[in-house]
Structure 1
């Protein structure tokens, strides 16, 4: 299964670290460094409830009470949610055809069909949507397992099933793109990588992979744009700095490449890739130094009392 680090979660849901810690302290989400696709569903519900000004403590109390009266292990994912708009804002659950206020121990009448609603539904999944989300997770897991077992054609079929069920599912689009990239079918790889970037414009990996396939297609200016976008989304993305530096050099932009070689070495200073980055950095500095010397030598000399302008000095510490 694909996992998402804390930084990914904060970026995807546009929440602060402090908010995530509050949910963790209240037992609403496990404290972790990495999160599964199903965890993202839980976090999405928590964020939506926060937007309706339901406190973490109120959510915790309602979830605990609902577990007791319904036997559901995870009411946030296994039941639809609603907020009572009158009086203190509190969380209720739609389950098995009824609306339950678990803290009050009451069943509520739902007049939502008449226009005089006693409940204010929030934008969360209905049962059919929830089932579709669960099926998406199941099919995506099967696709990943098939791919890891070497059954690539089967994996492609499962990823296609996911995209049929949930169009624009970015992780599936990325994985399909990578399969076609490894088969050197770069045109189809680009198609799926672009699908991922259009589906989720904050997914740095999608832009990085798109840059890779554009590089293979010798469309260097477009590859540079894609790598820059990945770095804008994740400034500490070491591999994106490395590949961008290579792309800039191939595009004749040696001076621009210097900054990304040094950025890569700050982020990953050991190993064979770091050795190669240092070698490229030294070569680039050498070439730029020769160009600088040649440029100075070719200038005509004139007697003048004016102070000569200094060439800018480039200082790099590697």
Structure 2
């Protein structure tokens, strides 16, 4: 069965037709390792297209990809209600929140312009450069995932330096040097990284960082998400504190919007032996975490 046509939030003129995931898909994408989630997301989104691989999701923005996962998930579930737990700042108690994931449809933003900021002039080590500022795409997310998984342990002395290095790569993947089109994407990214590292901190690099931050706001699209070092948080719709005492004076001031982890595996069907054995006892989908941040 085909789902309703999905329009890329970054390019709403581009429509993608997905089929519903089946048992074969659930078996193929079962038990995805955390260090391969982005790469397997690309394979999953490409394989569900009709015809397969019509549009390479590696070239979609990270927000396009996450919105597409949500689109397939809600379109193939009769009741996509997920439960989250969190500590409420209004009444200082722990709550369960049953969120109908369909409600996120009203939170999706669509761009009315190309997903790029062109002709940005920022020098590096005094040398003039023209930049294009762009959102992270699937390829960039795969690269960040690989680098994040190679980080040293937090208690190792190299960890802090490696984390700074990862953040610098995140900047490098959100910009392009105009006219630098030779070689592979990896080679171009390597050159950008070296150029960025040569920048003066206050007069050059901070200007680039501010322009990238501005781009993220100007070109916000898809589901409301925040991406930091390749890790995505999803902003859920607001809901009222369920405490009866609070609800006596219920106003918007007592509402909460949770930031919760957005991992691809929460939206990709899993069908292992454990899942099969639990189907009669656990018919719903269970998210792999127990708390949210409000």
TM-score, normalising length: structure 2: 0.27
Q: Which structure dedicates a bigger proportion of its chain to helix?
A: 1
Bigger Cα Rg: 1
TM-score, with normalisation over the residues of structure 1?
0.25
